[in-house]
Structure 1
Amino acid sequence: MLLSASTVLASIPSPPINSWDFSIFGVGISIKFYALFIILGIIIAVIMSNRTLTKRGAEPWVIVDICLIAVPLAIICARIFHVLTHYSFYFGPEQTDPWAWAKIWEGGIAIYGALIGGAIGAWLGCKWTGIRFWTFADAIAPWMLLAQALGRLGNYFNHELFGLPTDLPWGLEIEKDNPAFPAGLAEGTLFQPTFLYEIIWNVIGVVLLLWLGRKLSMQWGRLFAVYLIWYSAGRIVWESIRIDPSDIILGLRTNVWSAIFGVVIGIVILIVQRRHLGQEPSPYQDGRGRKDVVSSQDTPEDFVDLSEPTATLDDESTSAATSTAGAGSVPTAG
């Protein structure tokens, strides 16, 4: 039997506010916490990925040039993907606003759309900067999971994307007047905190990816493939217990299908990229730059920039040495 909020020993309360509201010169401004968490996630992902790419020989902060293309495309495609996978919500007979599909500020973005748009933008950015696409993908993979965990905190503040009713002590409290509150359920019903499950899953995934990146040769997109498999496998479970409205295809929510495709694509990348096992890619497409980081046992000497010419003795010393009688030629530093 479901327990009400007054009878459970513990539960997760929903936050009383979801935005920071203030005014400047009499103009009211509202900043959603959801947006702040997404921005924070992007900043952290950029900073940490820059650290990884720099260690692998890339020019510091070249990731910013890539993200100038990737981030806007990710946001645009995230909205497009959400609209297409919830088509009946925006173009159904009950929809009276012809511009509802464009009002992203009212909510509605999809992570798989962001991945598609971000991948296209990253590929273009990598072509522009000369960075190898798979090196970029592997560098950013763990930090995308962390950014997605932060984004789920935004869902918590928005009182959205919760799961089935539950009598578990960590059930989530949702107000009765919430539009997503299922009809017919009593006030005080608790729900599965799917946002929390996904946060925990993603944080564990971050630790796993960082460990794999240091202990195994997970290059050429293989670390990114593990990210796709890990995130998508968890998403299949969390999405299956969510009760927010969704279009259904062959009995499954559209986002479940997206997650299934994510697992399949990750497996394909792992299989295809096995042909590069044992090869250590330069971060740049033309092969310049330093050795890629594959192990915590790497030494500072492993990061010598091979694109620089080797040091030689200066002309004066060389001339003096070669003119010495009987000395023969003196080899330059190798």
Structure 2
Amino acid sequence: MLFKFNEGNIFIEIGPFTIMWYAVLILSGVMVAVFLGVKEGEKIGVPKDFIYDLALYGVPISVIGARIYYVSFSWDQYANNLIDVFRIDQGGLAIHGAVIAAVIWGLIYCEVKEVNFLKAVDLGAVGFLVAQAIGRWGNFMNQEAHGGVVPGNSRTYLEGIGLPNFIIDKMYIEGSYYHPTFLYESTWNILGMAFLMLLRRTKHVYIGDLGLVYLMWYSVGRCLIEGMRTDSLYIGDTGIRIAQLISILLFALGAIVLSLRHFKKWYPKYYYQIIEENIEE
């Protein structure tokens, strides 16, 4: 059979080629993010071709950044089998690494194309949240990035919090039921996306503020949920989870810069003013 659909983490097999659910869901998240970015970009004067090109090059750059970050903090896992460094279809992408790479790429590309970086940041803030929300389901398909065993190792516990059977069944791994932390984070990101989309329609937000709020929103959720996970990366033998430490630092950065920006009126251009000016043009 040329085409073969499978259960588990494989989306489809076409002859000798295998397409994983992990990749399909990440790309789906990116496409939704780009679509939303183009729609909002029209309102604030960011050309759609710029967004397409930014994503076209930015996605692989972000994936590379995410992988480098992950491998750097789990080198013992790859030191004796370097080929596995390139096996991203099996997971092992760190969001913080993707964000860092995306920001660096965005700065460079906005400078080259003479596009306001703060506009790109605000579009990217919403885009990242929706892409992360969808991409987390790739972890679900891989049965990874889950939390610890639920109280009493009970299916009833998961049923009690309203989870559908297909999630409960997938969270039954090697004889135990685990917390679906992928779902907790996905839900948190969807709520964050909705919050940012509402926030940008108020008259109190400077252009660029959404990026700072994104850092704060995502960091709170990630810090709390990371404490439930069983596959965290640690700083040596300190017991300190890297993702929690980075989240705390990013939250502090976002809060401090946002507060100082409004107190000192750094580039006090309101988001709604950008929209109004673009309509007039």
> What TM-score bracket applies, with the shorter chain setting the length?
0.7 to 0.9
Choose 249-258 or 195-204, whichever is displaced more. Answer: 249-258
Question: In the TM superposition, what is the alpha-carbon distance from 1:258 to its structure 2 partner?
Answer: 2.0
> 1:255: which partner in 2?
243
Q: Does 1:174 align with 2:172?
A: yes
Amino acid in structure 2 at the alignment position of 1:218: V
SS of equivalent residue, structure 1 residue 241:
coil
Query: Aligned match of 2:9 in 18, 26, 29?
Result: 18
Root mean square deviation of aligned Cα = 2.4
Listed as ranges, the matches of 1:37-48 within 5 Å are 37-48=25-36
Query: Aligned match of 1:78 in 66, 72, 76?
Result: 66
Q: Distance in 1 between matches of 2:268 and 2:251?
A: 25
> 2:198: which partner in 1?
211
Please report the TM-score for the alignment, with normalisation by the length of structure 2.
Answer: 0.84
Q: Distance in 1 between matches of 2:266 and 2:199?
A: 15
Q: Relative to 1, partners in 2 of residues 1:278 and 1:269: Cα closer, same or farther, differing over 3 Å? A: closer
Question: In the TM superposition, what is the alpha-carbon distance from 1:251 to its structure 2 partner?
Answer: 2.2
CA deviation vs aligned residue, 1:143-178 (integer Å, no higher than 9, x gap): 2111101011111111111111113234843231xx
- The question of whether the paired residues in 2 share the 8 Å contact of 1:69 and 1:124 is answered with no
> 1:139: which partner in 2?
123
SS of equivalent residue, structure 1 residue 30:
strand
Question: In the TM superposition, what is the alpha-carbon distance from 1:117 to its structure 2 partner?
Answer: 0.5
> 2:78: which partner in 1?
90
- The question of whether the paired residues in 2 share the 8 Å contact of 1:217 and 1:278 is answered with no
- The question of whether the paired residues in 1 share the 8 Å contact of 2:232 and 2:242 is answered with no
Q: Does 1:222 align with 2:209?
A: yes
Question: In the TM superposition, what is the alpha-carbon distance from 1:131 to its structure 2 partner?
Answer: 0.9
Amino acid in structure 2 at the alignment position of 1:238: I
Q: Relative to 1, partners in 2 of residues 1:90 and 1:22: Cα closer, same or farther, differing over 3 Å? A: closer
Question: In the TM superposition, what is the alpha-carbon distance from 1:113 to its structure 2 partner?
Answer: 0.3
Q: Does 1:163 align with 2:150?
A: no
> 1:292: which partner in 2?
274
SS of equivalent residue, structure 1 residue 131:
coil
Identity %: 30
> 1:279: which partner in 2?
268
- The question of whether the paired residues in 1 share the 8 Å contact of 2:34 and 2:52 is answered with yes
SS of equivalent residue, structure 1 residue 31:
strand
Question: In the TM superposition, what is the alpha-carbon distance from 1:111 to its structure 2 partner?
Answer: 0.4
SS of equivalent residue, structure 2 residue 173:
coil
Please report the TM-score for the alignment, with normalisation by the length of structure 1.
Answer: 0.71
Query: Aligned match of 2:221 in 219, 234, 246?
Result: 234
Amino acid in structure 1 at the alignment position of 2:107: W
Q: Relative to 1, partners in 2 of residues 1:160 and 1:66: Cα closer, same or farther, differing over 3 Å? A: same
SS of equivalent residue, structure 1 residue 246:
coil
> Stretches of 4+ moved more than 6 A in 1?
none
Q: Does 1:264 align with 2:252?
A: yes
Query: Aligned match of 1:103 in 87, 94, 107?
Result: 87
Larger Cα Rg: Structure 1 or Structure 2?
Answer: 1
CA deviation vs aligned residue, 1:199-239 (integer Å, no higher than 9, x gap): 11111111111111111432332111111111111001111
- The question of whether the paired residues in 2 share the 8 Å contact of 1:146 and 1:206 is answered with yes
Q: Relative to 1, partners in 2 of residues 1:302 and 1:21: Cα closer, same or farther, differing over 3 Å? A: closer
> 2:99: which partner in 1?
115
